[in-house]
């Protein structure tokens, strides 16, 4: 029994850890150093392979990191007594022209130095310039490390599920009350389109920061309003949540197409990507920070407040809840409003990430959100579930999708695997709770 | 219960290992450049032909591929490109799900020094750099479609368009179509009137409904121009249902097997054929040329051609596949 207790406490986080471990192992690959780090690694390697005061040429692509590489490498090599004939920056055609010019002036270097990512293109350029064809291309040594565990990738994983995770907060509450909200996917599109349209109307790419904030709040509130209407229809007229939110799903999607005229709206200032792409705190994307704050707030709400206990009570047994004085209808309207607000916020985050609003956003997101909630251990029959479980569920989905992209699994296979994993996670959960 | 549970975990792990392991061997070979490809979708024979051609040409050029599809979801495609960047692919080939929204991802790839190419659908966002765009000459395809319509109904008549105006390539097609019609009107005095223009979303079921409504509203319609094959097939179904096969002519653009078959059977008057094989081949060739330092033109247009019943009767594709 104790083992089962442990499994039910740590089941899903355990699955998440196992998945991370698995993808770390399969993505263990050569990693290519970049920028100054690459320059520091390449200098001693050249010292071993090329005698001093021989001429070298440094080749780099036109990016900031490559420029840093070229600058540092040049300084380090000159320090060691090498002659740096030229530093060539540019796109491949430019590099080819410059190298050709070098070869024509009979200035043949002893080696070409570049970053590992550009080794293959450089070699292919080299073979087309006969005098240079035999010259070695020296790049810093690679090291082995799981691509999955790269800082950029871990941020990717969280960034990729941030929209789903935010909406899943509202969905968890809805599902705990034994309901469902199918409208969230369409609300994403609606919110993104309303915000983009308002911004376009308030100056477009010249819009002020205040306009951006106002437009975002207006869009979120509009979605919250639609969510509240769902709640009212469900409670006042005893319409099943499935049907009521299905209706709003179509309405919201249609409205998004009408407001946008079916086009994506992109007259938005660059500052708007602050929320989705910016980083204000330790290099963590702002949207991820926002998600963490929302989860903390929802956790407190669900575990430490009367309102939270009422939500569980309504889902567990609405009649008993009513008899013990809980205003069931108000609680239901509240959770659908929260779900609408969260979907609206998700739409703003997505619009910010993509710097545009289009009615095609959020396609099938309701299903991913529900999957995240269910994988996270919330029961569709209501009354039980944990907010933090939902976060784990969303992360599981994110890790699987990212891992499969990294390992080059085809789109169709990805769907099959993702579906199996969702089914498997839920079955595991069933067996676990049965003992 | 425990055995069952263990078995389940085992099966799931196997599924994952299978899925991820398959591609693993050739990707660790760092002597071949890796090209990240994200298509619009895999569930359309145009993109299936495109992806086959990409695979074949990549094999020839010595490239490894990571091929995925955004399946019409801009956010999903954004994630795929972010993953390409983390993977440090040598180049990226895209069919954008949204010509504008993809901009932020392309910018990120630009900053990482990864050259980006597009096939079929262009990127319209500002301030991003695309090395080269390879696509059907959609404008020319629209003009050819107008010629085919004129050929089908003679010098005068009423026509409808089943549109899908969210997509850049379709906008070009309808623009070419309208330009050719206007030109013919001025030059040769043809009296063709576009009486209805409805969106069919580029898919069969919606095009079917749109065409049904169109036929209801305009019983004297002579021809319908559908902007792609799924739309054209939806239109054919609506015409058959209305019992107007004898009167209303259909012209579509694409050249999917099902569309070609409809041309052979006389249900579609003509198709404007795209050549996805050429698009895929030329795109990979452009990447290879660019990586070896050659200048690549920013736009490579692949011409389309008219395909009528007599072409369909000789078509080897239809002789083998029934």
Residues A60-77 have pLDDT tens digits of 888 888 888 888 888 888
In-domain check, residue A12: no
pLDDT over 80 (residue B3)? no
pLDDT at residue B280 in the model:
94
Which residue, A88, A123, A141, sits at the end of a domain?
A141
Are B292 and A96 inside 8 Å of each other by CB? Answer: yes
Which of the two residues, B40 and A30, has the higher pLDDT score?
A: B40
Option in A358, A408, A427 nearest B23 (CB): A408
Q: Hey, is the C-beta of B7 within 8 angstroms of any chain A C-beta?
A: no
Same domain, A107 and A201: no
pLDDT at residue A90 in the model:
87
Same domain, A69 and A207: no
**ipTM of the assembly?**
0.73
Paired with B270 in beta bridges are B251
In-domain check, residue A25: no
Q: Hey, is the C-beta of B52 within 8 angstroms of any chain A C-beta?
A: no
In-domain check, residue A8: no
Are B24 and A407 inside 8 Å of each other by CB? Answer: yes
Residues 6+ away with beta carbon under 8 Å from A237:
none
Same domain, A229 and A301: yes
Measured between alpha carbons, how far is residue A139 from residues A99, A112, A114, A117 in Å? 17, 9, 5, 9
pLDDT at residue A141 in the model:
84
In-domain check, residue A30: no
Q: Could you tell me where the beta strands, DSSP code E, fall in B40-108?
A: 64-69, 91-94
Question: Residue A98: closest CA among chain B residues belongs to which residue?
Answer: B293
Same domain, A85 and A172: no
Two structure tokens written together for B303? 């011409």
pLDDT over 60 (residue B2)? no
Q: What is the dihedral of CA A96, A102, A106, A110, to 10 degrees?
A: -90
Which residue, A141, A175, A192, sits at the end of a domain?
A141
Are A427 and B75 inside 8 Å of each other by CB? Answer: no
Measured between alpha carbons, how far is residue A190 from residues A198, A247, A336, A350, B309 in Å? 12, 14, 16, 11, 45
B201-206 contacts at long range (C-beta below 8 A, 24 or more positions apart) = B201/B164, B202/B164, B202/B167, B202/B170, B202/B227, B202/B228, B202/B230, B202/B231, B203/B230, B203/B231, B203/B234, B204/B230, B204/B231, B204/B233, B204/B234, B204/B237, B205/B234, B206/B234
Same domain, A136 and A159: no
The CATH number covering residue A59 comes to 3.40.50.2300
A125, A96 Cβ separation under 8 angstroms: yes
Are A406 and B1 inside 8 Å of each other by CB? Answer: no
Residue by residue, DSSP assigns B89-126 as -SEEEE--SSTTTTHHHHHHHHHTT--EEEESS----T
Task: Give residue A333's domain range.
Answer: 149-434
A339, A174 Cβ separation under 8 angstroms: yes
Nearest CA distance, A324 vs chain B (angstrom): 39
- pLDDT, tens digit (0-9, with 9 covering 90-100), for A311-368: 998 888 888 888 888 888 899 999 999 999 999 999 999 999 888 888 888 888 898 9
Regions in chain A scoring below 70 on pLDDT? 1-10, 429, 432-435
Same domain, A228 and A132: no
pLDDT at residue B26 in the model:
42
Same domain, A291 and A416: yes
Same domain, A341 and A413: yes
- pLDDT, tens digit (0-9, with 9 covering 90-100), for B261-283: 899 989 999 999 989 999 999 99
Same domain, A126 and A225: no
Between residues 143 and 182 of chain B, which touch chain A (CB distance below 8 Å)?
165-166
pLDDT band at B322 (very low <50, low <70, confident <90, very high): very low
Q: Hey, is the C-beta of A1 within 8 angstroms of any chain B C-beta?
A: no
Measured between alpha carbons, how far is residue A125 from residues A6, A87, A100, A109, B294 in Å? 59, 16, 10, 15, 9
Option in B5, B20, B115 nearest A428 (CB): B5
In-domain check, residue A352: yes
Between residues 260 and 289 of chain B, which touch chain A (CB distance below 8 Å)?
none
Q: Hey, is the C-beta of B36 within 8 angstroms of any chain A C-beta?
A: no
In-domain check, residue A15: no
**Phi and psi, residue B274, nearest 5°:** -95, 160
Nearest CA distance, A409 vs chain B (angstrom): 6
What would the mean pLDDT of B234-247 be, rounded to a whole number? 89
pLDDT at residue A1 in the model:
42
The CATH number covering residue A349 comes to 1.10.3470
In-domain check, residue A23: no
The total domain count for chain A is 2
pLDDT at residue B7 in the model:
61
Same domain, A104 and A176: no
Are A124 and B292 inside 8 Å of each other by CB? Answer: yes
pLDDT at residue B35 in the model:
94
Domains and CATH numbers, chain B: 33-130 (3.40.50.2300), 138-275+308-320 (3.40.50.2300)
pLDDT over 80 (residue B219)? yes
Question: Residue A402: closest CA among chain B residues belongs to which residue?
Answer: B83
Same domain, A95 and A200: no
Rounded to the nearest 5 degrees, what angle is found at the Cα of A143, between the Cα atoms of A137 and A148?
Answer: 125
Q: Hey, is the C-beta of A257 within 8 angstroms of any chain B C-beta?
A: no
Same domain, A251 and A202: yes
Measured between alpha carbons, how far is residue A353 from residues A147, A163, B33, B62, B84 in Å? 23, 10, 29, 35, 17
pLDDT at residue B304 in the model:
92
pLDDT at residue A106 in the model:
75
Rounded to an integer, what distance in angstroms lies between the CA atom of residue B290 and that of residue B136?
Answer: 20
In-domain check, residue A19: no
pLDDT at residue A8 in the model:
52
Which residue, A86, A117, A141, sits at the end of a domain?
A141
């Amino acid at each position: 029994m104790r083992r089962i207790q442990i499994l039910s406490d740590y089941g899903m986080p355990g699955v998440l850890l196992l998945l991370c471990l698995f993808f770390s192992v399969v993505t263990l690959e050569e990693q290519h150093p970049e920028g100054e780090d690459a320059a520091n690694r390449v200098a001693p390697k050249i010292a071993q392979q090329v005698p001093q005061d021989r001429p070298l040429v440094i080749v780099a692509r036109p990016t900031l990191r490559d420029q840093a590489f070229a600058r540092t490498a040049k300084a380090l090599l000159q320090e060691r007594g090498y002659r740096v004939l030229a530093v060539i920056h540019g796109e491949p055609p430019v590099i080819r022209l410059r190298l050709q010019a070098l070869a024509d002036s009979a200035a043949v270097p002893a080696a070409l130095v570049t970053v590992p990512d550009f080794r293959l293109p450089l070699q292919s350029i080299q073979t087309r310039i006969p005098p240079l064809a035999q010259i070695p291309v020296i790049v810093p040594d690679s090291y082995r490390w799981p691509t999955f565990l790269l800082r950029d990738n871990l941020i990717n994983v969280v960034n990729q599920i941030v929209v789903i995770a935010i909406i899943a907060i509202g969905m968890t509450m809805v599902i705990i009350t034994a309901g469902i909200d199918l409208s969230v996917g369409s609300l994403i599109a609606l919110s993104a389109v309303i915000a983009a349209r308002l911004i376009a109307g308030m100056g477009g790419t010249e819009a002020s920061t205040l306009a951006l904030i106002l437009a975002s709040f207006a869009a979120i509130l509009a979605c919250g309003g639609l969510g509240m209407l769902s709640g009212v229809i469900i409670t006042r007229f005893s319409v099943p949540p499935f049907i009521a939110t299905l209706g709003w799903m179509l309405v919201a999607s249609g409205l998004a197409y009408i407001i946008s005229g079916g086009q994506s709206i992109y007259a938005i200032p660059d500052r708007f990507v602050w929320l989705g792409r910016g980083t204000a705190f330790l290099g963590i994307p702002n949207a991820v920070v926002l998600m963490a704050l929302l989860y903390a707030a929802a956790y407190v709400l669900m575990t430490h407040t009367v309102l939270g206990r009422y939500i569980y009570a309504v889902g567990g047994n609405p009649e008993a809840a009513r008899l013990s004085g809980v205003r069931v209808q108000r609680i239901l309207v509240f959770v659908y409003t929260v779900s609408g607000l969260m979907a609206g916020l998700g739409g703003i985050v997505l619009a910010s990430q993509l710097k545009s609003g289009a009615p095609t956003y959020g396609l099938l997101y309701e299903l991913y959100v529900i999957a995240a909630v269910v994988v996270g251990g919330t029961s569709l029959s209501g009354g039980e579930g944990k907010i933090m479980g939902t976060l784990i569920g969303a992360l599981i989905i994110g890790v699987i999708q990212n891992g499969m992209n990294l390992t080059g699994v085809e789109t169709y296979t990805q769907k099959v695997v993702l579906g199996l994993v969702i089914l498997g996670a839920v079955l595991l959960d069933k067996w676990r709770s049965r003992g | 219960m425990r055995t069952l549970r263990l078995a389940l975990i085992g099966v799931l792990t196997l599924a994952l290992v299978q899925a991820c392991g398959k591609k693993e061997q050739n990707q660790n070979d760092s002597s071949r450049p890796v090209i990240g490809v994200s298509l619009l979708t895999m569930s359309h024979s145009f993109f299936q032909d495109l992806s086959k051609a990409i695979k074949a040409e990549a094999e020839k050029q010595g490239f490894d591929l990571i091929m995925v599809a955004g399946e019409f979801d801009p956010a999903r495609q954004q994630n795929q490109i972010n993953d390409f960047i983390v993977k440090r692919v040598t180049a990226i080939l895209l069919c954008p799900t949204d010509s504008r929204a993809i901009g932020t991802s392309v910018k990120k790839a630009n900053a990482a020094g990864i050259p980006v190419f597009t096939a079929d659908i262009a990127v319209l966002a500002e301030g991003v750099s695309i090395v080269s765009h390879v696509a059907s000459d959609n404008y020319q395809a629209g003009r050819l479609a107008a010629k085919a319509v004129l050929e089908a109904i003679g010098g005068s008549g009423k026509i409808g368009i089943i549109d899908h105006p969210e997509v850049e390539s379709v906008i070009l097609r309808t623009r070419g179509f309208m330009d050719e019609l206007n030109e013919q009107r001025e030059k040769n005095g043809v009296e063709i009137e576009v009486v209805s223009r409805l969106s069919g979303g580029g898919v069969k079921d919606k095009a079917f409904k749109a065409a049904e409504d169109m036929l209801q509203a305009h019983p004297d319609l002579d021809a319908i121009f559908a902007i792609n094959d799924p739309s054209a097939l939806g239109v054919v179904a609506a015409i058959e249902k209305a019992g107007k096969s004898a009167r209303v002519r259909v012209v579509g653009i694409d050249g999917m097997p099902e569309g070609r078959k409809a041309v052979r059977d006389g249900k579609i008057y003509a198709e404007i054929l795209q050549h996805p094989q050429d698009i895929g081949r030329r795109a990979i060739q452009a990447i290879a040329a660019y990586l070896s330092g050659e200048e690549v033109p920013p736009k490579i247009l692949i011409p389309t051609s008219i395909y009528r019943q007599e072409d369909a009767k000789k078509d080897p594709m239809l002789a083998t596949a029934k």
